[in-house]
């Protein structure tokens, strides 16, 4: 399972990029995307998905 970023809601703040333990998040155009092959939903790293936790916009990092 992986998370995804709702591009239309992403402000491009980049907060999530630096928190991802799997470097699954990268910039694409004005927003960020999650590589589903690298995203583990933070299993074995954190209790909950870190990108969703740090994102300032509610419901922008969500289950894919």
Binding site for ligand SF4 (CB under 6 A): 3, 5, 10-16, 19-22, 24-25, 32, 34, 39-42, 49-51, 54-55, 57, 60-61
Q: How many residues appear in the chain?
A: 64
Closer residue to ligand SF4 in complex, CB, 29/32: 32
Report the nearest approach of ligand SF4 to the CB of residue 31 (Å). 6
Rounded distance, CA 11 to CA 32, Å? Answer: 9
Report the nearest approach of ligand SF4 to the CB of residue 22 (Å). 4
Strand partners, 62: 4
For residue 3, which phi and psi values (nearest 5 degrees)?
A: -100, 165
């Amino acid at each position: 399972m992986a998370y995804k970023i709702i591009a239309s809601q992403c402000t491009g703040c980049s907060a999530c990029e630096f928190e991802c333990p799997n470097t699954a998040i990268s910039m694409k155009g004005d927003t960020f995307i999650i590589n589903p092959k690298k995203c583990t939903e933070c299993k074995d790293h954190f209790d909950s998905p870190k990108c969703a936790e740090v994102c300032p916009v509610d419901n922008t990092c969500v289950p894919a």
